[in-house]
């Protein structure tokens, strides 16, 4: 087990009718002038935004709003948000939405007190050392951004999709009402499930040994998702199943599934190129790339893949490691398919002919190498894209 720090200070307010606490919570965390940041669809149409505004007014909290966040949130809106916050003397950012809205809110929060160009954080030139507090009202269980220190933003010019993280970006509170997810379309629900499973698996596949607690926690989250995912797709208004999926998404990415070990994150790197180029959902891209990555790397640590097959998928241990490992990978792929997720380029709408372009961007964004379970160069990355293209 490696040394680690674990700090997850976010206050999670989970359950039915919890949005009503939003005003009191903002007060508790010192917010007096709030930017309410939201997406382009759900928050307005559902009435959630109006509800949030009412709760703020009830507590006499002043606010401005900025909507229009799209999936794969872009730098241009972040700049707009930073400018608005400075002009209006905003001291608290409330994200009402899913991962894209929260990520955009985090970038704004870090950008407001920073004199330079916020993109410097994502370029790796500067570390965040101040931020406005961020909080969330979560509407899509997927990215885990409601409990994570991370944000991913796409620079429109050049379609550069980059992630950054800082403990300062962990939300001070997150309100999570599973009822808000009842109306999520099946495809978005499934994409979210692929995303949270990927967050666990990026941490599960490690060469660090002797971290049994973390292994078991990863497996626990995956097992719960595997049980509940078909239920939420079949019964979108099943409260308990929606609640389990929502909470699983948070645990998957608040860090607890990764402590004491080197994490991988190659698949996220590979996928970011797909969603940047085709503007496909991140979760859908992950459903395509994870099995492909596994097929390429499993021999570099076959015992871990055997454990994954046996403990997560209930594959019988025949003693033939290769066979067991491959059955586990196939089980994951079949599971994604059963949720209606794409598992190859064709189903995703990606093209084999674009692999050169994907590799070109990946080289810029990754610096030419990615992953830790097996360190991948661009030839490896190309091979994995090719597996995804033909499988």
Which parts of this chain interact with a second copy (CB under 8 A)? 1-16, 18, 209-213, 215-217, 219-221, 223-224, 227-228, 239-241, 243-244, 247-248, 251, 256, 259-260
Residues in the chain: 391
Pairing of strands 150-155, 92-97: unpaired
Residue 314 C-beta: closest distance to a second copy, Å: 12
Alpha carbons 4 and 260: distance in angstroms, whole number: 5
* Complex with a second copy: residue 257 or 287, whichever CB lies closer: 257
Smallest separation, CB 16 to a second copy (Å): 6
The Cβ-side half-sphere exposure at 280, using a 13 Å CA radius, reads 27
Q: Which is nearer to a second copy, 56 or 221 (CB)?
A: 221
Q: Shortest gap between Cβ of 11 and a second copy (angstroms)?
A: 4
Instruction: Count the Cβ atoms, other than its own, within 10 Å of residue 86.
Output: 12
β-strand 92-97 against 62-69: which pairing, if any?
unpaired
- Rounded to a whole number of angstroms, the minimum distance from the CB of residue 12 to a second copy is 4
Smallest distance from the beta carbon of 14 to a second copy, in angstroms? 5
For the bound state, the minimum distance from the C-beta of residue 138 to a second copy, rounded and expressed in Å, comes to 14
Nearer Cβ to a second copy, position 112 or 232?
A: 232
HEC profile for 215-275?
Answer: HHHHHHHHHHHHHHHHHHHHCCCCHHHHHHHHHHHHHCCCCCCCCCCCCCCHHHHHHHHHH
- For 339, the token pair is 């949720």
Residue 274 beta carbon to a second copy: minimum distance, rounded to whole angstroms: 29
Nearer to a second copy, 35 or 218 (CB): 218
Structure letter (DSSP) for residue 370: B
Nearer to a second copy, 15 or 67 (CB): 15
Residue 282 bridge partners (DSSP): none
The token duo for 234 is 């079949």
Task: Give the integer Cα–Cα distance in Å for 391 and 107.
Answer: 37
Closest CA relative to residue 147, chosen from 221, 232, 233 = 221
**Nearer CB in complex with a second copy: 247/335:** 247
Measured from the CB atom, the residue of 12 and 293 that comes closer to a second copy is 12
Nearest in space to 141 (alpha carbons), one of 47, 254, 51, 7: 254
């Amino acid at each position: 087990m490696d040394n680690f720090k674990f700090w997850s200070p976010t206050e999670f307010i989970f359950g039915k009718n919890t949005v009503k606490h939003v005003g009191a919570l903002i007060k508790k965390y010192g917010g007096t002038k709030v930017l309410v940041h939201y997406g382009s669809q759900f928050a307005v149409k559902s009435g959630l935004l109006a509800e949030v505004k009412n709760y703020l007014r009830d507590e006499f909290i002043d606010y401005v709003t900025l909507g229009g966040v799209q999936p794969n949130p872009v730098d241009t809106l972040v700049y707009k948000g930073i400018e608005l916050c400075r002009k209006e003397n905003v001291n608290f950012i409330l994200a009402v939405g899913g991962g894209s809205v929260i990520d955009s809110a985090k970038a704004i929060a870090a950008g407001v007190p920073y004199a330079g160009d916020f993109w410097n954080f994502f370029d790796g030139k500067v570390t965040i050392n101040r931020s406005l507090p961020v909080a969330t009202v979560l509407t899509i269980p997927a990215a885990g951004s409601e409990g994570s220190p991370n944000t991913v933003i796409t620079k429109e010019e050049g379609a550069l999709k980059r992630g950054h993280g800082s403990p300062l970006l962990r939300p001070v509170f997150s309100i999570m009402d599973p009822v808000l997810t009842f109306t999520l379309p099946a495809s978005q629900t499934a994409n979210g499930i692929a995303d949270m499973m990927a967050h666990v698996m990026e941490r599960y596949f490690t060469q660090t040994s002797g971290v049994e607690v973390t292994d078991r926690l990863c497996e626990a989250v995956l097992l719960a998702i595997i049980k509940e995912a078909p239920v939420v797709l079949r019964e979108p208004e099943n409260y308990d199943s929606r609640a389990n999926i929502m909470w699983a998404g948070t645990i998957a990415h608040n860090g607890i599934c990764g402590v004491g070990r080197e994490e991988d994150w190659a698949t996220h790197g590979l996928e970011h190129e797909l969603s940047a180029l085709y503007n496909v959902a991140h979760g859908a891209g992950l459903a395509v790339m994870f099995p492909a990555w596994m097929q390429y790397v499993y021999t570099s640590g076959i015992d871990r893949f055997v454990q994954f097959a046996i403990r997560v998928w209930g594959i019988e241990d025949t003693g033939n490691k290769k066979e067991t490992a491959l059955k586990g990978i196939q089980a994951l792929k079949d599971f994604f398919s059963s949720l209606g997720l794409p598992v190859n380029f064709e189903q995703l709408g990606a093209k084999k002919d674009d692999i050169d372009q994907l590799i070109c961007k990946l080289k810029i964004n990754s610096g030419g190498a990615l992953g830790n379970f097996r360190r991948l160069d661009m030839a490896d990355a190309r091979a994995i894209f090719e597996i995804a293209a033909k499988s």
